[in-house]
């Protein structure tokens, strides 16, 4: 799970750069300001959670735990959140915006999972 977290994090971060640049250069003249902002929001969340997954991979080694649920929740949440927003912009299908909160809930759950693991590690360390 440690290798997956770091690899997935690097993949999401790289995709964020590519998709952010695509939005800024290829889509900027064809999208409304609101849709372009939605695109950039999706790219920002993909980047921040890509970086978070890399950190989770490193923390897993420090905590000597695989942080399986933290990894799964952050990864799936970022994928669902960002892809629903990217698809909303590309297809102009507004109901896809209703899927984004599911991804948001999963990302929040991943952060809560990390808090729980961190607190357990803090209070069990001697």
pLDDT score at 125: 58
Q: Are 57 and 6 in contact (CB under 8 A)?
A: yes
Total-model pTM: 0.92
pLDDT above 90: residue 11: yes
Query: Helix or strand or coil: residue 65?
Result: coil
Per-residue model confidence as pLDDT tens digits over 73-116:
999 999 999 999 999 999 999 899 899 999 999 999 999 999 99
Other CB atoms within 10 Å distance of the CB of residue 44:
13
Q: Are 13 and 47 a contacting pair, CB within 8 Å?
A: yes
Residues 6 or more apart whose Cβ sits within 8 Å of residue 48: none
Q: Which of 44, 106, 115, 114 has the alpha carbon at shortest distance from 75?
A: 106
Tokens at residue 5, please? 């977290």
Q: How confident is the model at residue 123 (pLDDT cuts 50, 70, 90)?
A: confident
Write out pLDDT tens, residues 32-85.
999 999 999 999 999 999 999 999 999 999 988 889 999 999 999 999 999 999
Q: Quick: pLDDT tens for 13-27.
A: 999 999 999 999 998
pLDDT score for 126: 55
- Please calculate the CA angle 63-66-67 and round it to the nearest 5 degrees: 80
In the prediction, which pLDDT does 28 show?
85
């Amino acid at each position: 799970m440690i290798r997956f977290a770091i690899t997935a994090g690097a993949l999401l971060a790289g995709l964020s750069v590519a998709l952010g640049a695509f939005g800024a250069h290829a889509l900027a003249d064809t999208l409304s300001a609101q849709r372009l902002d939605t695109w950039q929001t999706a790219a920002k969340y993909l980047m921040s959670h890509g970086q978070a997954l890399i950190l989770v991979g490193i923390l897993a080694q420090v905590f000597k735990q695989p942080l399986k649920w933290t990894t799964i929740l952050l990864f799936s949440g970022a994928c669902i959140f960002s892809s629903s927003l990217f698809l909303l912009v590309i297809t102009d299908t507004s109901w896809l915006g209703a899927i984004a909160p599911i991804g948001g809930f999963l990302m929040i759950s991943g952060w809560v999972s990390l808090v729980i693991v961190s607190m357990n590690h803090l209070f069990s360390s001697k």
